[in-house]
Amino acid sequence: IDGAHMVVEWGDTFCKDFANLWQLRFLLPQNSPLFTTSATIESTELRIMEEWLFFHPNSKMIRISPDHPTISYNVQSVKHAKNLLRNEIDLD
C-alpha cells in the first residue's frame, strides 16, 4: 500500500475503499506479507494503521529518510509519447 498515511486520513471520508483495505487480511493466505510505505506518516496514524490492517505484533518496520541526494526530478518535453519508454530504456 503506497501512501499508507492516506488509509487513516481518508479512509472514513474521501476514499471509502481505503477503509476496506483491512479485508485484504482475510482474502489472502494467513501469513501473506503486507508492505506499506509512507513518507509522511505520524506516530498516531501509524498505530491506527497497524491496528486497522491487522499488522502482526512481530512485524518489521524499516524507517529511512525519504530525502536522498541521488534522487532528482527530470522534466522533459515529449514529442512522441509512445516511443518515450523505448528511448529511455534500451528495449531492443
For 15-46, write each residue's pLDDT tens digit: 667 777 778 778 888 778 878 878 788 888 88
In-domain check, residue 18: yes
Task: Determine the pLDDT at residue 27.
Answer: 87
As for how many domains the chain has, the answer is 1
10 has pLDDT over 60:
yes
Rounded distance between C-alpha atoms, residue 35 and residue 13, angstroms: 23
92 falls in which pLDDT band (50, 70, 90)? low
Q: What percent of the chain has pLDDT over 90?
A: 0
Handedness of CA 39, 45, 46, 52 (dihedral sign): negative
Q: 37: which strand partners? A: 2
Instruction: Give Cβ neighbours of residue 34 (< 8 Å, ≥ 6 apart).
Output: 1, 24, 25, 53, 55
What is the domain range of residue 40?
1-65
In-domain check, residue 48: yes
Cell of 14: 474521501
Task: Determine the pLDDT at residue 44.
Answer: 85
